[in-house]
Structure 1
Amino acid sequence: MSNSATDHATIPQTLWAARGRHPGPAAEDVVRRTLGRHRESGDIDDFAEPPVPDDSPERIFEARWRAGGTVTVRARLTLVPRAARPEGQEWTLVAEAERPWDEAWPSPATLFWPEAGPAEGADGDWDHHPTVQGLRFGQVNPLPDDDKETRRRLKDAARESWCAHVVVHEAMTPDEQGRLPLARLLPPGLRHRVMEHRAAPQQFRAVNWALKDLGVEVPRGGAVLLPPDPAPQDYDGREHSVRTVFLDGSEPAGLVAALRDFMALPRPLPPGAQEALTDLRENWTLTTLQEELERQRELVAMYADALEAMTKSRDLYREAAEQAHQALTALRDAPAPAALPQQQRTGARTPAALQQLTRTFERLRFTAKGPRPAPAPDGPSEAPGVLEIPGVPEVPGAGAAERR
């Protein structure tokens, strides 16, 4: 498991998020009927089904209501067919309030889905864990008898950080009242965000052996919350364990306090939650007339700012172009520099030409002073005192003049 959540965005305190699976074939019909009943009863203000592309398998539902009568809540549920298995659909539900979430508010899951349980038949069979087979929200999930299977289940559950996983150990075999799920005793806002795992009295050592890799242990007759992955920087497993949990039907005050503290931690957003939250914020369609008016005003202000920025850019470009044109005109109108006299232009090249001419006459003098070269065996003899220089005419009699 990761040790830090530094590089992950944290869950906003205004967000309620959950994920599950409906094993039936017509999950969208169940959601549509449930939302219609809640709209008629006034539990929600309205709901909508935003359109999706024809080739998309998703089904999207939006609903809005006022929690506590005053706080607006916007929620979005997405249904996606399971990739691995054809039966059932996975669902993702995110709800965002105008202020931090109050655990006393109704669970958004109960506004999109009917009450779970045998009484609702297939319609109420929506609270399955999305990836771990056999786990359900709001019910007691006994740990397997096999130690390795227990270890595997708890490790798989710890990776699923959309909800809080609590492991409860039974100090003794409970009666009928004690076998009921603790979720029914939790505040409404926590009921569908908690998965309860129950260890039998004889599984105490086995369950702690399975929890060893996660760095936590459950007290005898108590409970412990599995750490999220990645764990928050200041997470301490000892602070999220409960020494005693009474399975007598009374409110588990210690467990509720631990869950409340756990939910307040800066926990990282689980995989997929950031995308779901972005869709809720940016692709929301169920707006009121006032919200739509405010949205149009924001668009007008944004377009006005963009137009002002483009106008400033155009003015700056025009000013720069005018300055460049003025500079080019001034350069064209400037008088040409006076031509140099012919003598000065020739003198500018005199040193090189004079140097070449000097070297030529030096070679001429050296040839004239030196001994007369012997005639070539097979070639004509050269006249004394005559030097052939390419491009320079012969100077006859130069040697005789030198001898005189």
Structure 2
Amino acid sequence: MAKNSTSSTTVPDTAWLGRGRHLGPEPEQDVRRNLIALKAAGVLDDFLDLDPVEAARSTVLHPRDDSADPGPLARRVFEARWRVADDVTVRAQLTTYDPEARRKEAEGVTWVLVAEAERAWDAYWPSPATMFWPDSDRVPWDHDTVPGVLLRATNQLPKDDDELRHRLRDCTRKSWYIHVVVHEAMTPDAKGQQPVSAFLPPSLRHRVVEHRGTPEQAQIADFAMKRELSVRMPRGGAVILPPAPQGPDYEAERFTVRSVFLDGSEPTELLDRIKEFAALPRPLQADAEQALTRLRHGWHLLTPDEELDHAQGMVTKYAEALDAMTTSRDLYREAAEAAQAALADATGGDGVPGTATPGSTKADGSSLGALTKAFGRFRGPNK
């Protein structure tokens, strides 16, 4: 596991975070099939499929850490390990969750995916999402937790003003992704309707959600963004929405592109702005921080070297505990023998206290002192 310290406010540069919803009938089965196929192809080093209760009880690296518990709504915990850039190990954990209430069952199964590398994350590494989920349009894993928003497709902005403002608020406050709004100067053809995020590097592609405004939505979208987020929607251009809370490094003008040609060509300026935005410090939401903590403190899929280190560590701990018990036992036995000897001196050897005589006062006092000293060995926290 990466040794970088965890910031309480920003996402570590070693981490990749994702959260969404799977609307299909068998999300866990989709994950298993993909993991099995990638391991057989040599893409993954290994993977684990764990019951949540089993995962919480059998945490290896931090066996007494409650942060490893994925929670009562968890359905399944999957772990996978792979290598990038030849020797950089990536560890990832995906957890699926039941809806919070029966009325939300139609929203599908929520999933949380956290990956961490041994060094700063590179956008050109493979996407952790496609290590667990099939990169196929036939598997509906790519729904954001914000209703009606997809990761791998363009999302039309709502026509209603109130719905539009509500969508903008949810995307900036609740979603873990980077949200980009592109205005269509004119209705694009089939090539122009493809998401521009498809041109992004693999690991960044599944961190970006693209929204589209129709030609007639220029004014309403501009007004809603100015009111809700203090950014403007340029006609025929694009803007990257600020995070919530908005950091000091975000400048609306800096992340606004005046012109985007939706003709299937690569929108270089917009892609550069997205990459620049993705490199900024990102706020680490509380639930994301909990997921990252579970990855670090609840990891089970150890390498052979890690298993050996763990076994050696456990042997050392058991040896120390056994040594402490042996020392305590020896001290107890010595104190008991001393107490028995002192008691024998005080009772004359028959176990019955004798009558003190003037000549025996000193001896009795000495015996009583020895008895007191013997029992005094039991004082202290370790006796």
Give the AA of the match of 2:46: D
Match of 1:89 among 109, 112, 115: 109
Give the AA of the match of 2:149: L
Deviation at 1:247, TM superposition (A): 1.1
Contact 2:179 2:211 in 1 (8 A): yes
Task: Say whether 1:29 aligns with 2:29.
Answer: yes
Residue number in structure 2 paired with 1:357: none
Mapped partners of 1:219, 1:303: distance in 2: 66
Task: Say whether 1:252 aligns with 2:267.
Answer: yes
Alignment of 1:373-388 (within 5 A): none
Can you give the 5+ residue segments of structure 2 that lack an aligned partner in the other structure?
1-6, 55-71, 325-383
Residue number in structure 2 paired with 1:180: 194
Deviations 1:291-334 (A, max 9, x none): 1223345567788999999xxxxxxxxxxxxxxxxxxxxxxxxx
Residue number in structure 2 paired with 1:353: none
Give the AA of the match of 1:59: R
> Matched residue of 1:206: which SS?
helix
Q: How many residue pairs get matched? A: 301
Match of 1:71 among 58, 83, 88: 88
Contact 1:116 1:127 in 2 (8 A): no
Give the AA of the match of 2:144: H
Residue number in structure 1 paired with 2:20: 20
Residue number in structure 1 paired with 2:9: 9
Task: Say whether 1:111 aligns with 2:131.
Answer: yes
Distance 1:284 1:219, change over 3 A: same
Mapped partners of 1:298, 1:254: distance in 2: 52
Distance 1:171 1:292, change over 3 A: same
Alignment of 1:197-212 (within 5 A): 197-212=211-226
Alignment of 1:44-83 (within 5 A): 44-53=44-53, 57-83=74-100
Contact 2:73 2:97 in 1 (8 A): no
Residue number in structure 2 paired with 1:148: 162
Match of 1:293 among 308, 311, 319: 308
Residue number in structure 1 paired with 2:39: 39
The CA RMSD measured in Å over matched residues stands at 2.6
Give the AA of the match of 1:184: A
Contact 2:144 2:175 in 1 (8 A): no
Deviation at 1:50, TM superposition (A): 2.8
Deviation at 1:190, TM superposition (A): 1.1
Match of 1:216 among 231, 249, 252: 231
Task: Say whether 1:102 aligns with 2:122.
Answer: yes
Give the AA of the match of 1:190: L
Contact 1:161 1:229 in 2 (8 A): no
> Matched residue of 1:195: which SS?
strand
Deviation at 1:111, TM superposition (A): 1.2
Task: Say whether 1:274 aligns with 2:294.
Answer: no
Contact 1:231 1:267 in 2 (8 A): no
Distance 1:204 1:79, change over 3 A: same
Give the AA of the match of 2:116: E
Residue number in structure 2 paired with 1:355: none
> Matched residue of 1:202: which SS?
helix
Give the AA of the match of 1:253: T
Contact 2:180 2:241 in 1 (8 A): yes
Alignment of 1:317-356 (within 5 A): none
Q: Mean alpha-carbon deviation: is it higher for 262-271 or for 26-35? A: 262-271
Contact 2:73 2:99 in 1 (8 A): no
Contact 1:50 1:285 in 2 (8 A): no
Deviations 1:371-397 (A, max 9, x none): xxxxxxxxxxxxxxxxxxxxxxxxxxx
Mapped partners of 2:167, 2:14: distance in 1: 30
What is the TM-score with the length of structure 1 in the denominator?
Answer: 0.69
Mapped partners of 1:306, 1:147: distance in 2: 67
Residue number in structure 2 paired with 1:157: 171
Residue number in structure 2 paired with 1:399: none
Give the AA of the match of 1:160: K
Deviation at 1:183, TM superposition (A): 2.1
Distance 1:284 1:171, change over 3 A: same
Contact 2:75 2:97 in 1 (8 A): yes
> Matched residue of 1:179: which SS?
coil
Mapped partners of 2:321, 2:249: distance in 1: 44
Residue number in structure 2 paired with 1:283: 298
Higher relative contact order (CA 8 A, sep 6+): 2
> Matched residue of 1:47: which SS?
strand
Can you give the 5+ residue segments of structure 1 that lack an aligned partner in the other structure?
1-6, 310-404
Mapped partners of 1:29, 1:81: distance in 2: 15
What percentage of aligned pairs have identical amino acids?
51
Distance 1:57 1:265, change over 3 A: closer
